[in-house]
Amino acid sequence: MRLVFFVLAPVLIATATDRRNVECPNTDTHVTFQAPASLEKWQQRRQQLRLQILSASGLLPLPEKTPLKPLVYDRLDREGYTIEKVAIETRPGYWLGGNLYRPKGKSGKFPAVLHPHGHWNYGRLENQQLCSTPTLAINLARHGFVVFAYDMVGYNDTAQTPHDFSTPEYQLWGFTPLGLQLWNSIRALDFVESLPDVDPRKLAVTGASGGGTQDFLLTAVDDRVAVSAPVNMVSGIMQGGCVCENAPGLRVGTNNIEIAAMTAPRPMLMVAATGDWTRNVPKEEFPAVRKLYALFGKPELVENVQFDAPHNYNKDSRQAVYNFLRKHLRPEEPEFQERGVNVESLQDMLVFYGRSRPDHARSFNQLFDEWKVEAVKMQEAATPAELRQRLQLVFESTEPMPALGDPIPYKFVEGKGPAVLYLHPDGMAAAEASANFQKLKGQGRAILLIDAFQTGTAKAARDRSHRHFLTFNRSDSAARVQDVQAALKWLAAKRPSETVELAAEGEAQWWALFAAATTPVAVRFSPSPVAYKVSDLELTKVFFVPGLQRAGGVEAAAKILKVSGR
């Protein structure tokens, strides 16, 4: 009997382009948000976004909440309020510094307001016309609010790490300023919730600029936040310029408008200015978010104000926030106007001015080492289903997945089963010339070949120059895994009675391993553990996927395949 092979030529359309090359959004790409058609669809979307944010932040699963062990120093007793210097241990040996402002002469349990700061020179201690944290906090405390103003990483008392750190190795483990800041905010919420004079049902957050980013990220992932007031940050024309606002994977398929919309139906005030990137909020971002609130039947719970000013958290912005917080958290309090304050000297507000951190305080390198150890322990304790979900979040996108022919070039050789997807790091032409392919062909096997992303005929220009490129776009290696996933699904649909086999050589084994572990298709693939024993530094060169190690890496993929019998 003579075997006949039918080879389909690659599907290459001259006008076809891979959107992953031509649509590479960045912080300044103009984006929009449209509310889904139903509340049910939004709830599903919101849950997926929450997981995406936590994954990108290196906080999936959340780390253990170890004791905060607050250090409280030097209570300042002033007219109508008090101030304390506070440091909380958000991770073992890692301290977050801040100031706690409390009402004086009032009784009962009070609403609490977290106040993360923006990129002002003096951080939480900034006091100038465009931004004054002490003025905000003191005025709120005088009128019955507990306020915790705390540092960004690398500022003031929170200096065990720099503010700006980002290398491929850190990114592999999800160790970023954004993730540390989000974790600090979650622990700051734990702290104020635990205070005996705070009503845990009435927790709010407000911040401007980079503090606004922290505001809506915290609100998106922690439902304890009852009221949110992000200032000068929710925008469709600029998504945040600092590394502390950009972690790999954070905004793949989403943007700050949609993330802020996750506040719904909790009350939110969107404060904007005519002189910065929130200039379009009244006519673009606010109406879009309000339509989402309307799905809950509560469009009145989101409000917008805009002031003719440059980028700020100035008196007008603060006054709007006072009114909003009072209305939703302390309605029994009469409306009040901002009063001037006496600002304390900087040294009298710093926790570690003139004193050392506790002896067990960690260095930056120690914090990173312990972060990695923690990730490994989480991987060892996780079920295969949990590991698959974590890896899927690292590789997949909420945007449409690529498909064979558009944009993935492919060839299929008809033959007997089981069908094989054969991968070569240099693409189809190199695969056809290989001894392994010739062996499969000689056996009369059905074979699928692809030019995975940026290989073979799929090589194309891709502008990766923007510093925060990976915040909005998957890495080349992650895109190749997406292509292999698409090819496996195509082959399974074409040959539904067979278990697809997957074979690869060279660096393509990386694509095969993680595609097999994350696709729902039944795949037979036998990884060689020796082939994947590389250092983090080597991994950044041969298979760079941010968050991979935090999600469990090779060990997680191997565990999934072993349990599934693939």
Considering the entire predicted model, what is its pTM?
0.95
| Helices H / strands E in the chain, number of each | 18, 18
Could you give the strand order of the β-sheet that contains 416-423, starting from the edge strand earlier in sequence?
Answer: 410-413, 445-450, 416-423, 500-504, 523-524
Angle at 155 between CA 153 and CA 160, to 5 degrees: 60
Tokens 């991987």 identify what position? 379
CA 35, distance to chain mean position in Å, is 21
Q: Which residues of the chain have pLDDT under 50?
A: 1-15
On whether the CB atoms of residues 132 and 140 are closer than 8 A, the answer is no
Mean pLDDT of the chain: 94
pLDDT digits over 495-540, tens only? 999 999 999 999 999 999 999 999 999 999 987 766 778 899 999 9
On whether the CB atoms of residues 325 and 113 are closer than 8 A, the answer is yes
On whether the CB atoms of residues 309 and 106 are closer than 8 A, the answer is no
The pLDDT value recorded for residue 564 is: 65
- Domain residue ranges of the chain, discontinuous segments joined by +: 19-27+382-564, 40-373
- Helix or strand or coil: residue 451? coil
Euclidean distance between CA atoms 504 and 540, whole angstroms: 20
Exposed / middle / buried, residue 385 (Cβ in 10 Å: 0-12, 13-18, 19+): exposed
On whether the CB atoms of residues 411 and 565 are closer than 8 A, the answer is no
Euclidean distance between CA atoms 390 and 393, whole angstroms: 5
Euclidean distance between CA atoms 94 and 63, whole angstroms: 13
Nearest CA among 110, 170, 173, 168 for reference residue 144: 110
Euclidean distance between CA atoms 55 and 52, whole angstroms: 5
Nearest CA among 392, 406, 536, 410 for reference residue 474: 392
On whether the CB atoms of residues 272 and 244 are closer than 8 A, the answer is no
Buried b (16+ CB within 10 A) or exposed e, 442-478: eeebbbbbbbbbbbbebeeebeeebebbbbbbbbbbb
DSSP 483-535: HHHHHHHHHHHHSTTSPEEEEE-TTHHHHHHHHHHH-SS-EE----GGGG---
Q: Which fold has domain 40-373?
A: Rossmann fold (3.40.50)
On whether the CB atoms of residues 388 and 418 are closer than 8 A, the answer is no
On whether the CB atoms of residues 299 and 290 are closer than 8 A, the answer is yes
On whether the CB atoms of residues 57 and 182 are closer than 8 A, the answer is yes
On whether the CB atoms of residues 518 and 481 are closer than 8 A, the answer is yes
- What is the token pair recorded at 521? 């298709």
Q: To which H or E segment does residue 436 belong?
A: helix 435-442
Exposed / middle / buried, residue 82 (Cβ in 10 Å: 0-12, 13-18, 19+): middle
The pLDDT value recorded for residue 160 is: 98
- Count the neighbouring beta carbons within 10 Å of the beta carbon of residue 188: 27
129: left (phi over 0), alpha (psi -120 to 50) or beta: alpha
Euclidean distance between CA atoms 164 and 151, whole angstroms: 14
Euclidean distance between CA atoms 478 and 317, whole angstroms: 42
Fold agreement (19-27+382-564, 40-373): yes
In angstroms, the Cα distances linking 270 to 49, 258, 261, 379 are: 20, 13, 10, 39
Euclidean distance between CA atoms 169 and 545, whole angstroms: 10
The pLDDT value recorded for residue 7 is: 41
- Count the neighbouring beta carbons within 10 Å of the beta carbon of residue 545: 28
| The CATH number fitting domain 19-27+382-564, selected from 2.30.29, 1.10.287, 1.20.272, 3.40.50 | 3.40.50
Tokens 């945007």 identify what position? 399
